[in-house]
Amino acid sequence: MRAHKRETPRQKEARRYLRARVVNADAHGQAHRVKKKDHVRRDRKGLIDQVSCKICGTIICSMIPGEHGPPVLMQTNQYTTIFIEFDDGSRYETPMCKVCAASVDADVLEPLYAADIDKWEKEGDNVNREAWWVRAAYRRPDNVRKG
Ligand SMILES: [Zn+2]
């Protein structure tokens, strides 16, 4: 995890709360249904070279030879996305394989969200955006919309 040097006290508290949600999702309930922990793989230069389904580990993006240049990251034919909707009216789109997307239900949303939180933290996304972290910390997933 990268250092959060300019983090405000409010943001620090939100991030601590989110960390607890990740641990809790691991320890209880449906976490066993989200099997793939490191679903985004990076090469030595730090560029994403493979993305797996968070639930089952099926590869949903991989490198293919570029037509006129270097290899490019492409979605496989198993790639799709769902929208996780929250109790505060917000939502975001998250990728997974088609088989898992078809069987996603409300019980798996919290561990799915926890897997994304874990990735955002490790990758240092939105590091210094207090409002973003505070919103992310306290919203609860309550519905799934399939694309
Ligand atoms: Zn899957």
Write down the pTM of the prediction.
Answer: 0.83
What is the residue type of 66?
Answer: G
Ligand 1 center–CA 146 separation, angstroms: 14
Cα distance between residue 49 and residue 44, in whole Å: 10
Tell me the domain boundaries of the chain: 9-34+78-146
Q: How far, in Å, is the centroid of ligand 1 from the Cα of 68?
A: 32
Specify the pLDDT at position 5: 64
Q: For residue 135, what are its two tokens?
A: 């919103």
Q: Are 19 and 115 in contact (CB under 8 A)?
A: no
Distance 5 CA to ligand 1 centre (A): 36
From 100, 82, 99, select the one nearest 143 (Cα to Cα).
82
Q: How many CA atoms lie within 13 A of 100 on its CB side?
A: 25
Using one digit for the tens of pLDDT, what is the confidence trace for 102-147?
999 888 899 899 888 888 888 887 777 889 889 999 999 999 998 6
Q: What band does 3 get if pLDDT is binned at 50, 70 and 90?
A: low
Angle, CA of 125, 137 and 84, to the nearest 5°: 80
**Residues 61-106 pLDDT 10s:** 999 998 888 899 999 999 999 999 999 999 999 999 999 999 998 8
79 DSSP β-pair partners:
97
* DSSP secondary structure, 111-124, as one string: HHHHHHHHHHHHHT
